Amino acid sequence: MHERDVALFNCTAFDGTREGAVIPDAVVLVRGGRIEAIGPGSRVPLPEGYERVDLGGRHVLPGLINAHCHLFSDGKPRAAAANERLTNAVLRASRKWPVKALFKRKVRAQMNNALQAGVTTLRCLGDPWFVDVELRDELERTPGRGPRLWVAGMGIGVTGGHASILSTQGDSPWEFRKAVRKHVREGVDLIKIFTTGGAADSRRAGEAGRLQMTVEEISAACDEAHRAGLRVASHTQSSAGIKEALLGGVDSIEHGAEIGDEIVGLFLRNPRSLTGETALVPTLSAVLHLAEAPLEESKVSEVTRENVRRIRSGVIRGVRRAVKEGIHVGVGSDAAMPLVTHYDFWREVLYLSRHAEVSPRVALSWATEGNAELLGIAGETGTLKHGRSADLIAVDGDPLADLTALARVSFVMSQGRIVRRPQVKRLQQVERSIQRIELRHRPESWETIGASRGFAGTPDVLPGS
């Protein structure tokens, strides 16, 4: 990593905005960790005294933002993780030295792997004992030495509910207010609540999406968070759960389900949310991988896989409806779940382009500018504009034509510091499993879908989607 003022040149730049400005033969000047200037080389000369970095004709774009991840695991399937009692024991041990030190070392390695893969901001939605808050504070003392963290600490849910081993639990509106107040005191950036059951720790078929928090409890948690200026992200995996979460005033629905006519308007105009609207973050990677992987590879139970398969089609239909209605779509992979690593966030962008039937340009803007808006930090990062934090990556190939180019990151800059030769540490077992899944169930590319509908060029949203 490097701290000098830098001039990047010999590249094509995509600014990350919805309008999708592309600058050929671009120059990007970075001074004091921020973008000082960006434009074609004919208008932005290379100044003296700057370190000059020739990017060899590569494509430059804003650093990616993973809007839904967890730091407690690397995505490698582990049979022991399905044992709730054993997992509880391990998590309890992680509170104490020296186990905590070992745990934090692994978390740092996962953060660094994400950064090496071009993810410069992570929105962490549930980690034990507020380890994410500690690490965020450590990184803020040395900006750029890791990705930017936007953290929720532990989640908040009902007694015996989903993710109970990773959450603060309550059973009434005032208990949830108290839980939020404690989290605010811990210094979190947002609040994560679990309003329905989930597939990952389900014990019976049909449990994913079962209503858990009441509307009154959701409302109390949201009101308390909003009083502190914090947004609320809601784990929700059923249509009924979405409706109740929206009525309670959440700011984002994580995972999601089919979106009915009666709740479209609440996404677009939600008077109880902090900003007046609610976003959807569908986390397709976890759903698609766990639904199709053999149990011996995913290491999850038959019940978990059955629940994932039950919710899969609803999640996909939900995000397609969101695109059609103009609902804000965030991009998050649910990294840490089995077969979802911190370094393959690019796959989530690709899956969204394919399954939501939008162009690579739109999917990229969702993962950069759109995700920055979702986090409330659009004035800081997410686009290549004057004054923004210098969070950017260079890739081999044109991601606006082929999103797999995002898997070939050759240069990373985080808050003005350079990662010169990014080296991702891959989990070969996971890679082989995903490749087999994609070979068996390769969806049509968005270009193929567009051609089959007689649509030429590169539309933002395919007709009829």
Average per-residue pLDDT in the chain?
91
| Model confidence at 417: pLDDT above 70 | yes
* The model's pTM: 0.93
Higher-confidence position of 421 and 313: 313
310: in domain: yes
357: tokens are 């039937």
What is the per-residue pLDDT for 165?
A: 78
111: in domain: yes
| Model confidence at 317: pLDDT above 70 | yes
What is the per-residue pLDDT for 166?
A: 81
> Letter for the amino acid at 310?
R
| Model confidence at 402: pLDDT above 50 | yes
Per-residue pLDDT tens over the stretch 14-42: 999 998 889 999 999 999 999 999 999 99
> In the chain, what percentage of residues exceed pLDDT 90?
83
Tally of residues, the chain: 465
Q: How many structural domains is the chain composed of? A: 1
34: tokens are 């921020």
113: in domain: yes
* CATH (domain of 152): 3.20.20.140
What is the per-residue pLDDT for 191?
A: 98
Most confident of 2-11, 95-104, 246-255: 246-255
Mean pLDDT value of segment 261-287: 97
> Letter for the amino acid at 426?
R
8: in domain: no
Terminal-residue alpha carbon distance, the chain: 43
What does the alpha-carbon distance between residue 22 and residue 301 come to, in Å, rounded to a whole number? 46
Helices and strands (DSSP H and E) totals, the chain = 15, 16
Q: Kindly give the residue spans of alpha helices, DSSP state H, lying in 165-259.
A: 173-186, 215-227, 239-248
Q: Identify the domain containing residue 232 by its residue range.
A: 64-375
What is the per-residue pLDDT for 75?
A: 97
Q: Which residues contact 229 (CB under 8 A, 6 or more apart)?
A: 274
| Model confidence at 98: pLDDT above 80 | no
| Model confidence at 418: pLDDT above 60 | yes
Per-residue pLDDT tens over the stretch 318-369: 999 999 999 999 999 999 999 999 999 999 999 999 999 999 999 999 999 9
Per-residue pLDDT tens over the stretch 62-93: 999 999 999 999 999 987 666 666 666 666 66
318: in domain: yes
Closest listed residue to residue 205, CA positions, set 315, 308, 283: 308
Closest listed residue to residue 351, CA positions, set 298, 406, 279: 406
391: in domain: no
392: in domain: no
Per-residue pLDDT tens over the stretch 177-211: 999 999 999 999 999 999 999 998 888 998 899 99
